[in-house]
Amino acid sequence: MMRPYFLIVAISALMSLPAGAQHGATNGEWRFYGGDAGTTKYSPLDQINADNVKDLKIVWEWNARNFGKRPDFNWETTPLMIGGVLYTTVGTRRDAVAIDAATGETIWVYRLDEGTRGQVVARAQNRGLAYWSDGKGDDRILLISPGYQLVALNAKTGAPLPGFGANGLIDLTKGLDRDVVKPGSIGASSPAIVIRDTVVVGAALMSGAAPSSKENVPGYIRGYDVRTGKMLWTFHTIAQPGEFGNNTWENDSWKYTGNTGAWAPLSADDELGYVYIPVEMPTGDFYGGTRPGDNLFSDSLVCLDARSGKRIWYFQVVHHDIWDMDITAAPMLVDITVAGKRIKAVAVVTKQGSTYVFDRVSGEPVWPIVERPVLQSDVPGEKTAATQPFPTKPPAFEKQGTSLDDLIDFTPEIKAEALKIAAQYKLGPLFTPPILATADKRGTLLSPSHVGGANWQGGAIDPETGMLYVASVNNPDSLGLALADPKRSDMGYVGGGGRGAAAGRGGAPAPVMDENVPRVPPKVNIGPGGLPLVKPPWGRIVAIDLNKGDIAWSIANGDTPDYIKNHPLLKGIDIGRTGKPSRSPLMVTKTLLFSADGNDLFNGVAGGGGNTFRAIDKKTGAVLHEMQLPAMATGIPMTYMVDGRQYIVVAVGATGVPAELVALALP
């Protein structure tokens, strides 16, 4: 039977609907997390350009040190800017604040005291807020609290709106159909999105490399009326009986399997009234024996009608995921011209280094996506999908799969040692399954790993040219499975080797402060003398022409890490610019691409991170200007115009350096 890896509904009706061109942020503002509802991260502002970008200065800083019982160091927020006011979440308690966009002066602060509910949470990080206006003076800020409550605030005063839900609040833990919903088991790490008059809310859950149970909370997607807070619909990301896709959850695994939330940011098309949902994988990052089948709608891009919740189309990018390769980046909307045909497109970049491009109205792939046979698992109880979907265009933006040819070879001695190390692992193409860790083989060497490729930083798109820019990481990781201790987990097998043993989604709650304690993450390379095992670049920025489906240029993201430059095994050897193994947050303007070294606070590897902020020629990839920020960029940059002056604002922080917003402008 042919796998229904994508579904198109009522094409003739859909094609008659209007679909407006995507233009990025408008009127000098930044009204959505990604600039516009389509998450382009693009602004047509050009006061700051190639000629004067060298003159950028820090004009104000807003410190987040005192928001919460301890400072936040990993502030992943991107503020909104409407009417000269910045709005953002702040601190370990996720307060909402309004800030004068020209001066950095605080206007108002909203703090929700959730008690213990706000102390034990699924996800400590949050990337910002949502905004809605009726155009007549009713302006609202939408906050998702650490305890998973949706709060509607008056944008002018920061006061809760009593006509929304119960005194301005909605308990998002209600209506999830499971008894396993407990405080801290589900939350949100990205903002809601408002499309027309509907607030659409995603979900994030705890780590799941070694979950305590195959039973977990489902990350359903819900829509609420922005005026009243009334719940309008629920989309079951785990298909229920009578729903399309339920048969892809074999052995009644739909009854207990959880996750399949949308922890990445959401995107929308206001003209169509559609919202685009990047759905994560199910419970159990590296073992799926408890959930046989393709598991719809996990690992899928799902298009819904925002007002009704009706599924319009979907595409599953990974069948029966056992690699933690869920969709982690917001879909990006752009209008492109392919072979003379104008297409309203949506593109999504993934951990595996692929770019999937669709007609956002119909769901039809812009270029063929083919099902190819993949290696099968020999782990007891595992039932691997026979095939996986591979885009024929654009080419992968990151190295996929591992082979002996990929190993580091700066000297014959280094190459010989790399070969000895590689012999301890199973190598193979993309989608090589995890193996049981043994004395002879520690695990499967995955490339990209589950913390490689693209992640929540996603990409940025220039809607005027159809050029997509994406940052990725090349850091292969070992993944070996181990027999689960039945006293600790009923999963059968859990992640037990490599950095993958400590990451993923679906485990038990942890205190909110744990993810913000200043600490140095595991920074161990398995290559010769602590070097990376594979050839550089270890971090890159790639430009993809979506009109042609080709890569326009690729550059290393940053310089060679100091520990590699000064490594005794490389004395006297010039290895060039290798890039840093951390993803650059990207933002595009009329003339420039802005980037930074990237955030390595969590999921870090040796040599990642740094304080450098860059302006890049978006046509060629040439670095035009570099400057130092007070700390590493932890959020996506944004830009706006106030009183005739263009500003760029980015959140920064580092281990031991409390987070702050930094505003850049010309003198």
The tens digit of pLDDT for each residue in 360-404 reads: 999 999 999 999 999 999 999 999 999 999 999 999 999 999 999
What is the structure's pLDDT at 12? 33
Least-confidence region, from 422-436, 446-460, 510-524: 510-524
| HSE-up of residue 514 (Cα within 13 Å, Cβ side) | 12
Instruction: State the burial class of residue 261 (Cβ atoms within 10 Å of its Cβ: 0-12, 13-18, 19+).
Output: buried
Separation between Cα atoms, residue 334 and residue 347, nearest integer Å? 8
Separation between Cα atoms, residue 358 and residue 317, nearest integer Å? 12
184, amino acid identity: G
* Mean pLDDT of the region 637-648: 98
Separation between Cα atoms, residue 586 and residue 616, nearest integer Å? 10
Residue 600, pLDDT > 80, answer no
Residue 153, pLDDT > 60, answer yes
Residue 340, pLDDT > 70, answer yes
What is the structure's pLDDT at 18? 38
* Mean pLDDT of the region 76-97: 96
Residue 237, pLDDT > 90, answer yes
Cα angle for residues 208, 113, 657 (degrees, 5° grid):
65
Least-confidence region, from 3-12, 229-238, 628-637: 3-12
Instruction: State the burial class of residue 578 (Cβ atoms within 10 Å of its Cβ: 0-12, 13-18, 19+).
Output: buried
597-to-378, 540, 629, 633 alpha-carbon distances in Å: 40, 10, 10, 7
What is the structure's pLDDT at 499? 44
Q: Could you give the dihedral angle defined by the CA atoms of residues 192, 356, 401 and 583, in that order, rounded to the nearest 10 degrees?
A: -40
Domain boundaries, the chain: 6-665
Residue 73: cis peptide before it, omega within 30 degrees of 0 = no
Separation between Cα atoms, residue 505 and residue 633, nearest integer Å? 25
What is the structure's pLDDT at 606? 80
What is the structure's pLDDT at 589? 98
Structure tokens at 269: 């098309």
What is the structure's pLDDT at 199? 98
Hey, is 514 helix, strand or coil? helix
What is the structure's pLDDT at 602? 62
Q: Taking all residues of the chain, what is their mean pLDDT, rounded to a whole number?
A: 91
pLDDT, tens digit (0-9, with 9 covering 90-100), for 27-81? 999 999 999 999 999 999 999 999 999 999 999 999 999 898 888 889 999 999 9
The model's pTM: 0.93
Least-confidence region, from 221-235, 550-564, 589-603: 589-603
What is the structure's pLDDT at 17? 36
For residue 429, give the nearest of 373, 385, 483, 484 by alpha carbon.
Answer: 373
What is the structure's pLDDT at 3? 53
Work out the percent of the chain whose per-residue pLDDT is above 90.
81
Separation between Cα atoms, residue 434 and residue 497, nearest integer Å? 10
661-to-81, 100, 514, 601 alpha-carbon distances in Å: 13, 12, 22, 17
What is the structure's pLDDT at 521? 43
The residues that bridge with 654 in the sheet, in sequence order, are 657
Separation between Cα atoms, residue 334 and residue 318, nearest integer Å? 23
Q: Which fold has domain 6-665?
A: Methanol Dehydrogenase; Chain A (2.140.10)
Residues ≥6 apart with Cβ < 8 Å to 113 = none
Residue 4, pLDDT > 50, answer no
185-to-39, 211, 495, 512 alpha-carbon distances in Å: 28, 12, 20, 12
* Mean pLDDT of the region 485-505: 68
Separation between Cα atoms, residue 235 and residue 312, nearest integer Å? 12
Separation between Cα atoms, residue 278 and residue 347, nearest integer Å? 11
What is the structure's pLDDT at 118? 82
What is the structure's pLDDT at 34? 97
Separation between Cα atoms, residue 371 and residue 457, nearest integer Å? 28
Least-confidence region, from 137-141, 384-388, 509-513: 509-513
Structure tokens at 430: 């993309």
* Mean pLDDT of the region 74-94: 95
What is the structure's pLDDT at 26? 93
381, amino acid identity: G
Separation between Cα atoms, residue 510 and residue 124, nearest integer Å? 10
395 and 404 Cβ atoms separated by less than 8 Å? no
In the 3-class helix/strand/coil scheme, how is 539-592 assigned residue by residue?
Answer: EEEEEEECCCCEEEEEEECCCCCHHHHCCHHHCCCCCCCCCCCCCCCCEECCCE
What is the structure's pLDDT at 338? 98
Structure tokens at 558: 């940053």
Classify residue 496 as left (phi > 0), alpha (psi -120 to 50) or beta.
alpha
321 and 281 Cβ atoms separated by less than 8 Å? yes
What is the structure's pLDDT at 475? 85
* Mean pLDDT of the region 551-571: 94
For residue 460, give the nearest of 562, 572, 592 by alpha carbon.
Answer: 592
DSSP class of residue 434? P
Separation between Cα atoms, residue 447 and residue 351, nearest integer Å? 10
